[in-house]
Chains A and B, each alone.
Chain A
Amino acid sequence: MSYQASATLDAETHDAITIDRSKGDFTFPERNKFDAGRGLSAATVDYICDVKNDPPWLREFRHKALQVFLAKPMPTHWASKDLDNINFDEIRYYLSDGEKPKRSWDDVPDDIKRTFDRLGIPQQERAFLAGVEAQYDSEAAYSNVKEELTKQGVIFVNSTEGLHQHEEVFRPWFGKVIPTSDNKFSALNSAVFSGGSFIYIPKGVKLKQPLQAYFRINSENFGQFERTLIIADEGSELMYMEGCTAPKFETTTLHSAVVELVALKGAKIQYVTVQNWSSNVFNLVTKRGLAMEDAEVRWIDCNIGSRLTIKYPGVIMKGRRARGEVISIALANTGQHQDTGAKMIHAADETTSNIVSKSISVGKGRATYRGQVHIPKHLKGCKNNTECDALLINANSRTDTYPAITVKGNRHSTQHEASVSQVSEDMLFYLMQRGLNQGQAMSLAVNGFINDLVREFPMEYSVELKRLIDLEMEGSVG
């Protein structure tokens, strides 16, 4: 009996994860003007600073972060031992083709256009690529911010541009929601980050269309270290969508992003993620939002890909009546471990939070929910609701739930519920009676299980999500 999942990838597992990857299974020739080489040292950090022309305060910040990263132990005393398989010396920490961000669609190189083709962006939507900040190996290769947004005073640039051109807005909040020393991987990101988005929405501006960014990893063994900072000023509203697919590689790739959201008084931020990294990617992400008075931060998170994902989107509710929400779907196939969850830190009166998490374990996949709800003393009227449901498809699928709830004082209420179940034989029998094959019946049942959460996603994402789940469920039964 093993209490810790096996850390090695056996042949069977490897075979299993090399299927169903048609969507992201392609690469383009690399042409990198700047390459920081393999491994991480003070010299790597200096190289990145030089290339990106970082101001002195940032150089100092990165060096300090590197020290923190080196000093912190791996969190393997609670997290998966699989983390020990990351070889930090094998990873290249910075690559860039050195070209300036593009302004018009015609300027975008053909191979990147082909990437968009494979990502399935429809023709008519491309003309409407307003606000798309597409990441190609961490640097914005294409960036076309619709003129109206600029007129409204919205800033939507990559993080490098943000800190160079909008330092007065960027710097006061940078690293404030997630301090460098929050965890080992936030420290790593702080030392070597490049790319990611910086968004500022001025007071009272309510964006009708979501902002999007597509992230891609395209160099073998190259980790992406995006840094995203979104500031929604008083009364503003925004939805940000981030979708990832990655080409398939044979050796391990590391992705470690830091995403900070700041919702000032009365602002609303929705952050939507569809994560479909290939099954060799370590996806170790720190995401946290700060919600001031009457503000709302919602994380809508879907994890389908990667080898190991460790991600607990969090909300710190700092102002009265602030609201935090995490809606999470995880699908773990053979060879995958989705270690996801949520953190809700109540720091003001009458704050409310809601966590709904659904996970599906297929084959030998392992899905874990890990959550923290904290309601400190001297607050009143705080509420939390947590629901975790897990669905097991095969006999050797695995699921775990580890919530931690702290409530101090008596004017609060929290509830936590979790259930584990499987698709019932009766349901499958019923569907097969009506002419579906077993795989289709299973897919239908699984889609039904997550349907109420999928509806929370924007339309085009929910369609893509259902298709991805169908793809993952292929060959899981019979």
Chain B
Amino acid sequence: MHTIPLAASSAALPCPAWFTARQQAAWTRYLAAPAPKRGDEAWRFSNIKQLDFSSFAKSTEAGPAADLIARSSGLEATAAKLIFVNETLVSAQSSLPAGVICLPLAEALVSHSALVEAHFMKQETRLGSAKYAAWHEASLTNGMFIHVPDDVEVAHPIEIHHWLAGDNTVIFPHTLVVTGSHAKVRVVEMFRSADELQPGLAIAVNDLSAGPGSKLDYVAIQAFNEVSRIIQINETAAARDAATTGFILNTGAAWVRNESLSRLEGAGARSDMLAVSIPARAQEYDQRTFQHHVSAGAFSDLLYKNSLYDYATTIFSGLIFVDEGAHHTDAYQTCRNLLMSDTCEANSMPGLEINADQVKCSHGSTSSQISEEEIFYLRARGIDPIAARQLIARGFSVEVVERLGNPALEALVIRFIDDKFAHIASGGA
């Protein structure tokens, strides 16, 4: 491993002109766009009050960097490990194969300006948060740019830590991952708060572009403190024969809005969209997804699982959209809600819009609680009812995690899931 010089991440670096122009245009769009209001279909069931972000401001402080670096534990083996505190890169190590670009965005803008320009926020945000995507584009000062050239495989995951520090701080984490043909890479991002009591806000965007025949896995672990909010916008594009996996774990934050869009652009492309959410107390998770079959002969499969405790609320709104001519599409969508209290609320809106023939599509949504028989079975084997319920809820979530197909990554995700269950067990579940 070698260390990237940190000076490179300074926001004081000169930006290319195209980027400055994009930021200015985005700011104009942000100001012009109306805020979502009640009755907007993209915000149905949402708590619009959560969109008042007026109390948040950017922070120039790097926070307790040394302490946070020490707390940034993740995988044992990584190809690169980068740690950001409030968008400032505070630690970076890497041992990547030759040709792989893995740089803070601020630096990549200077060294690989044309390459970044070719991929930077190319798609319109269509799931409701266009205004906040514009705010993100106008305000970001840093992020990650990862480019894996043709036929290069990165063996271990690239690990990125985002720390939110300070009172009422807003951050704009940006991650852009591009794979060439037959390349392979895994990226893990972790979002955490430095402190349990200070409210923060993250407007995060991740853009994934998978080249022909490549394999791109992306895992986001969101474990902010329970007074913070996050909007996370994902755009995934899969070219011919590419396989992408997008996984989101939500355990933290007071309010979460996830918007995930997968665009299947070539025959044989595959997109797996996975999420595990475990809201408790008054946490509200609002997830919107879009499986866009542009090309014929592509495959997409979505599995979102929510375990709801206490007064938690979840919203799932998914749409499979099959374009005219996208024949021989296989698209599946499943949302399952496990209701763990009398007072939680699960909203599901699984949708389909099919404009092609020879299509196999299905969607399913269920909401239910653990049956008394299952608890009885476990009690008969000497497990107390509370532990029995936790065991079943854990198994419910782990089924999704296993789809990642990488033991080290699965162990990391399950560690965060177990932390949450322990927190629920101790904190009033």
Q: Do A and B bind each other?
A: yes
Residues on A facing B (Cβ under 8 Å):
1, 3, 77-78, 377-378, 380, 390, 392, 394-422
**Residues of chain A within 8 A of B276, CB atoms compared:** none
B55 contacts the other chain (Cβ, under 8 Å)?
Answer: no
Give a binary string over B38-55; 1 marks a CB under 8 Å from any A CB, 0 the rest: 010100110000000000
- Determine the distance from Cα of A180 to Cα of B348 in the docked complex, in whole angstroms: 29
Smallest CB gap from B352: residue in A: A401
**Residues of chain B within 8 A of A402, CB atoms compared:** 349, 351
Smallest CB gap from B358: residue in A: A422
Judging by beta carbons under 8 Å apart, are B351 and A400 in contact? yes
Chain B min CB distance to A9 (Å): 19
**Residues of chain A within 8 A of B365, CB atoms compared:** 403, 405, 414-416
B3 contacts the other chain (Cβ, under 8 Å)?
Answer: no
Chain A facing B: main interface SS: strand
Smallest CB gap from A415: residue in B: B366
Partner of A395, one of B39, B352, B356: B356
A selection of 24 A-B contacts at a CB cut-off of 8 Å is A377-B343, A396-B324, A398-B355, A399-B353, A401-B351, A401-B352, A402-B349, A403-B349, A403-B351, A404-B348, A406-B347, A407-B345, A408-B345, A409-B341, A409-B342, A410-B344, A410-B369, A411-B369, A412-B339, A413-B369, A415-B366, A418-B362, A418-B364, A420-B359
Judging by beta carbons under 8 Å apart, are A405 and B348 in contact? yes
B152 contacts the other chain (Cβ, under 8 Å)?
Answer: no
- Determine the distance from Cα of A390 to Cα of B352 in the docked complex, in whole angstroms: 10
Judging by beta carbons under 8 Å apart, are B345 and A420 in contact? no
Smallest CB gap from B342: residue in A: A409
- Determine the distance from Cα of A78 to Cα of B41 in the docked complex, in whole angstroms: 7
**Do A406 and B360 form a contact, CB below 8 Å, given A78-B41, A400-B351, A420-B352?**
no
Partner of B352, one of A78, A380, A399, A406: A399
Smallest CB gap from A394: residue in B: B357
Partner of A411, one of B342, B347, B353: B342
Q: How many A-B Cβ pairs are below 8 Å?
A: 130
Chain B min CB distance to A397 (Å): 7
- Determine the distance from Cα of A392 to Cα of B355 in the docked complex, in whole angstroms: 9
Chain A min CB distance to B276 (Å): 19
- Determine the distance from Cα of A397 to Cα of B368 in the docked complex, in whole angstroms: 35
Give a binary string over B353-380; 1 marks a CB under 8 Å from any A CB, 0 the rest: 1111111111111111100000000000
- Determine the distance from Cα of A3 to Cα of B339 in the docked complex, in whole angstroms: 35
B183 contacts the other chain (Cβ, under 8 Å)?
Answer: no
Judging by beta carbons under 8 Å apart, are A377 and B345 in contact? yes
**Do A421 and B360 form a contact, CB below 8 Å, given A407-B339, A413-B367, A415-B365?**
yes
- Determine the distance from Cα of A417 to Cα of B324 in the docked complex, in whole angstroms: 24
Smallest CB gap from B347: residue in A: A406
Judging by beta carbons under 8 Å apart, are A405 and B41 in contact? no
Partner of A77, one of B39, B323, B357, B369: B39
Known: A406-B45, A418-B363. 20 other contacts (CB 8 A): A77-B41, A377-B343, A378-B342, A394-B357, A395-B327, A401-B363, A404-B349, A407-B347, A408-B343, A409-B341, A409-B344, A410-B369, A412-B339, A413-B368, A415-B365, A416-B348, A416-B350, A417-B364, A420-B354, A422-B359
- Determine the distance from Cα of A420 to Cα of B342 in the docked complex, in whole angstroms: 34
- Determine the distance from Cα of A380 to Cα of B352 in the docked complex, in whole angstroms: 30
**Residues of chain A within 8 A of B127, CB atoms compared:** none
Residues on B facing A (Cβ under 8 Å):
39, 41, 44-45, 323-324, 327, 337, 339-369
Smallest CB gap from A406: residue in B: B347
Which among A410, A416, A422 has the highest number of chain B CB atoms within 10 Å?
A: A410
- Determine the distance from Cα of A419 to Cα of B333 in the docked complex, in whole angstroms: 10
Chain A min CB distance to B386 (Å): 15
- Determine the distance from Cα of A409 to Cα of B347 in the docked complex, in whole angstroms: 12
Judging by beta carbons under 8 Å apart, are A414 and B366 in contact? yes
- Determine the distance from Cα of A205 to Cα of B350 in the docked complex, in whole angstroms: 42
- Determine the distance from Cα of A337 to Cα of B8 in the docked complex, in whole angstroms: 58
Chain A min CB distance to B295 (Å): 12
Chain B min CB distance to A137 (Å): 38
3 smallest CB-CB distances across A and B, nearest first, come from: A410-B339, A401-B352, A410-B369
Judging by beta carbons under 8 Å apart, are A414 and B364 in contact? no
- Determine the distance from Cα of A422 to Cα of B39 in the docked complex, in whole angstroms: 35
**Residues of chain A within 8 A of B341, CB atoms compared:** 409-410
**Residues of chain B within 8 A of A417, CB atoms compared:** 362-364
**Do A412 and B324 form a contact, CB below 8 Å, given A395-B357, A403-B348?**
no
**Residues of chain B within 8 A of A413, CB atoms compared:** 366-369
**Residues of chain A within 8 A of B358, CB atoms compared:** 422
- Determine the distance from Cα of A378 to Cα of B344 in the docked complex, in whole angstroms: 10
**Do A420 and B360 form a contact, CB below 8 Å, given A77-B41, A395-B327, A410-B339?**
yes
- Determine the distance from Cα of A356 to Cα of B275 in the docked complex, in whole angstroms: 29
**Residues of chain A within 8 A of B359, CB atoms compared:** 392, 420-422
- Determine the distance from Cα of A380 to Cα of B368 in the docked complex, in whole angstroms: 12
**Do A1 and B345 form a contact, CB below 8 Å, given A395-B357, A420-B360?**
no
**Residues of chain A within 8 A of B362, CB atoms compared:** 417-420
Judging by beta carbons under 8 Å apart, are A409 and B343 in contact? yes
Chain B min CB distance to A399 (Å): 5
**Residues of chain A within 8 A of B323, CB atoms compared:** 1
- Determine the distance from Cα of A420 to Cα of B354 in the docked complex, in whole angstroms: 8
Smallest CB gap from A407: residue in B: B367
Judging by beta carbons under 8 Å apart, are A400 and B361 in contact? no
**Residues of chain B within 8 A of A414, CB atoms compared:** 365-368
**Do A416 and B340 form a contact, CB below 8 Å, given A392-B354, A400-B351?**
no
Smallest CB gap from A380: residue in B: B342
Judging by beta carbons under 8 Å apart, are B352 and A405 in contact? no
- Determine the distance from Cα of A411 to Cα of B355 in the docked complex, in whole angstroms: 38
Judging by beta carbons under 8 Å apart, are B368 and A412 in contact? yes
Chain A min CB distance to B330 (Å): 11
Judging by beta carbons under 8 Å apart, are B368 and A400 in contact? no
Chain B min CB distance to A413 (Å): 4
**Residues of chain A within 8 A of B349, CB atoms compared:** 402-405
**Residues of chain B within 8 A of A422, CB atoms compared:** 357-359
Judging by beta carbons under 8 Å apart, are B340 and A400 in contact? no
**Residues of chain A within 8 A of B347, CB atoms compared:** 404-407
Chain B min CB distance to A330 (Å): 14
- Determine the distance from Cα of A392 to Cα of B328 in the docked complex, in whole angstroms: 13
**Residues of chain A within 8 A of B351, CB atoms compared:** 400-403
- Determine the distance from Cα of A408 to Cα of B340 in the docked complex, in whole angstroms: 11
**Residues of chain B within 8 A of A392, CB atoms compared:** 354, 357, 359
Smallest CB gap from B371: residue in A: A413
